């Protein structure tokens, strides 16, 4: 994978006890993407209009999905300790979830196939997905902020594969569908409607 032009090098965190400079730089790249996502969500939820929100959320979820894909192609990161260090209580994302739900309205609820290899249609909420992704990412950011690069990368990678990667993919597809319907669902006038429109135009001309 490292031979792909422009791709991040495939790191092996198990090759040394202390994180290498390359691993530290990679973790900082992911942390920067995470910070951007966590800063953008509340801003969109409180300041965007419903018309702006879908496009802005699509942009943000697409960018964090790219960060997740970069994590997904790495070899498995291993935490230094058997149990995850305590970095305090989980982030409270309930207010964020409610604001996004109110902002999206009817577009908040969508249906998708959870596992394409075991197709089963399920219903999801964009607000739930986005808030859950934010909580997972924020936990890893706390580990990173304490200087625990190994734990941060392990958590981000593990949670990407186990939960927020699938949520991001489903949310991105749902948001793209909203954009597509908005731009492409243009009603094509029937032949009768076109004839009626022409007749109206002609009648108007005669009256003048």
Identify the CATH number of the domain in which residue 26 sits. 1.20.120.1550
- The rounded percent of the chain whose pLDDT value lies above 70 is 76
- Residue 4 in any domain: the answer is no
Can you give the pLDDT at residue 8? 47
With a cut of 50, say whether residue 14 has pLDDT above it: no
Domain extent at residue 123 = 13-185
CB 2 within 8 A of CB 9: yes
Residues 183, 60, 70: CA angle, nearest 5 degrees? 120
Residue 13 binned pLDDT confidence (cut-offs 50, 70, 90): very low
Give the residue with greater pLDDT, 115 vs 184. 115
Predicted local confidence at residue 94, as pLDDT: 96
Whole-number Å distance between alpha carbons of 15 and 126: 39
Helix axes 149-159, 21-47, angle to 10 degrees: 60
Residue 110's pLDDT is 92
User: On the CB side of 200, how many CA atoms lie within 13 Å of its CA?
Assistant: 6
74 within a domain of the structure (yes/no): yes
* Cα–Cα distance, 156 to 54 (Å, whole number): 25
Question: How high is the pLDDT of residue 189?
Answer: 46
Residue among 166, 108, 110 at smallest CA distance from 133: 166
Residue 118 has pLDDT above 60, yes or no: yes
| Residue 82 confidence (pLDDT) | 63
Evaluate whether residue 28 is within a structural domain.
yes
Flag whether 8 is in a domain: no
Q: Is residue 192 part of a domain?
A: no
Q: Indicate the number of domains in the chain.
A: 1
Residue 204 lies in a domain: no
Q: How far is 193 from 199, CA to CA, in rounded Å?
A: 10
Q: What mean pLDDT is predicted for residues 40-51?
A: 94
| 50 in any annotated domain | yes
Q: What is the mean pLDDT of residues 110-118?
A: 81
- Give this prediction's pTM: 0.77
Q: Residue 18 and residue 136: Cα distance in Å, rounded?
A: 24
DSSP 8-state class, residue 67? H
Instruction: Decide if 38 is inside a domain.
Output: yes
Residue 71 pLDDT greater than 70, yes or no: yes
pLDDT confidence of residue 56: 96
């Amino acid at each position: 994978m490292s031979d792909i032009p422009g791709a991040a090098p495939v790191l092996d965190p198990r090759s040394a006890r202390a994180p290498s400079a390359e691993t530290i730089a990679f973790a900082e790249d992911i942390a920067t993407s995470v910070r951007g996502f966590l800063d953008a969500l509340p801003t969109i939820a409180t300041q965007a209009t419903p018309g702006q929100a879908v496009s802005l959320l699509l942009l943000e979820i697409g960018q964090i999905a790219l960060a997740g894909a970069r994590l997904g192609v790495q070899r498995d990161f291993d935490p230094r300790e058997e149990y995850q260090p305590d970095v305090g209580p989980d982030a409270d994302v309930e207010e964020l979830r409610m604001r996004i739900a109110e902002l999206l309205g009817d577009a908040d609820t969508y249906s998708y196939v959870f596992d394409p290899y075991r197709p089963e249609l399920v219903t999801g909420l964009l607000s739930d997905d986005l808030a859950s992704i934010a909580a997972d990412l924020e936990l890893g950011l706390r580990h990173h902020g304490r200087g625990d690069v190994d734990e941060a990368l392990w958590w981000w990678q593990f949670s990407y594969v186990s939960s927020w990667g699938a949520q991001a993919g489903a949310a991105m597809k749902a948001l793209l569908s909203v954009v597509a319907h908005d731009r492409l669902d243009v009603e094509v006038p029937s032949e009768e409607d076109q004839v009626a429109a022409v007749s109206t135009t002609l009648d108007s001309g005669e009256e003048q």
